[in-house]
Amino acid sequence: MDLQQRYRDALDGLLPQLKEDRSILAAVLCGSLAYDAVWAGSDIDLVLVTIDDKKVPPGDRSLYVDDVNVHAFLMPRSEFRKAVEGSVRNSFLHTLLARGKLLYTHDPTIADLCAGLSGIGRRDTELQLLRAATAAVAPIYKAHKFLSTRGDLEYTALFLLQAATPLAKIEVIGARRIADREVIPQALKLNPAFFGVVYTDLLNTRKTPASVTAALDAVDAYLAERAPALFAPVLEHLREAGEARSATEIEDHFTRNFGIEGVTAACEYLADQGLVGKSGISVQLTRKSNVQVQELAFFPVERLA
């Protein structure tokens, strides 16, 4: 039997049982069976929206239907609503649900929530672009290091390939599309010339100083051209502050408010591009320190005007 059909038959066999369960309000099919192709190691991913009842706790359930593993995640209706309405667009949870397929629901409000998942707002796009760009910066710096200090083409290419996934997210999210788990193939369709140089060629052709340098130059140009838009939330935060902010303060702000870590690396990149200034700010290492040291800080370039 065709593998894809075997998985669909297993799902079809489970659905009538779920529909009869009065504590299950809806089932959302996620993962490969929802929008891609399964393989022998796949399972069926289901989000099951349950009634709001303390006797129906959330959690994972591993089901087994016709020799097929089913990963079922139980989520109370109130939590599902919070997740859908509060999730940042193009975050993992949003992507999981947005690429999913509502199989059935006994509650029309759940259908309305699922229908609204396709919209991606400007602010959510900005934050996800920042997250992706921040993730790209570190491996790009590493690629520069190993090329300039060792001339190591293999290691330089390795770090460029690590940067390929966040760069692909930039391409896809920038096009206001939902970034799949398989985001690089998506990006290749949108920008085949760039991702051919920095991904496909690095994988499939012999690495030479010219080809690796060309890939690194292409990555640098790609990021620099988009930097003001990619790092807009950081630039906005520093402009609103109007003065130098320590690396600790900046990290705390973006971690606490947006769940984005590693923004210091983004600030370093912006300083290298001349988009922000870099300085030191006096701090005590501990509350009981009797001396002050200089901590890395960043400020808006308008401060110099």
The enclosing domain of 216 has a CATH number of 1.20.120
Asked if 260 and 205 sit in the same domain, the reply is no
Per-residue model confidence (pLDDT) at position 117:
75
pLDDT, mean of residues 208-233: 96
Domain boundary pick from 173, 201, 230: 230
Residues 9-51 pLDDT 10s: 999 999 999 999 999 999 999 988 988 888 888 999 999 999 9
pTM of the model: 0.74
- Strands of the sheet containing 68-76, edge to edge, are 59-65, 68-76, 44-50, 24-30, 101-105
CA–CA separation, 265 vs 167, rounded Å? 16
Asked if 137 and 211 sit in the same domain, the reply is yes
Domain boundary pick from 83, 118, 153: 118
Residues 96-120 pLDDT 10s: 787 889 999 999 999 998 887 766 6
Asked if 103 and 11 sit in the same domain, the reply is yes
Asked if 60 and 13 sit in the same domain, the reply is yes
Asked if 177 and 253 sit in the same domain, the reply is no
Question: Who has greater pLDDT, 234 or 100?
Answer: 234
Asked if 142 and 217 sit in the same domain, the reply is yes
Per-residue model confidence (pLDDT) at position 305:
38
- How many domains does the chain divide into? 3
Residue 100: which domain range?
3-118
Residues 251-298 pLDDT 10s: 999 999 988 999 999 999 999 999 999 999 998 888 889 999 999 999
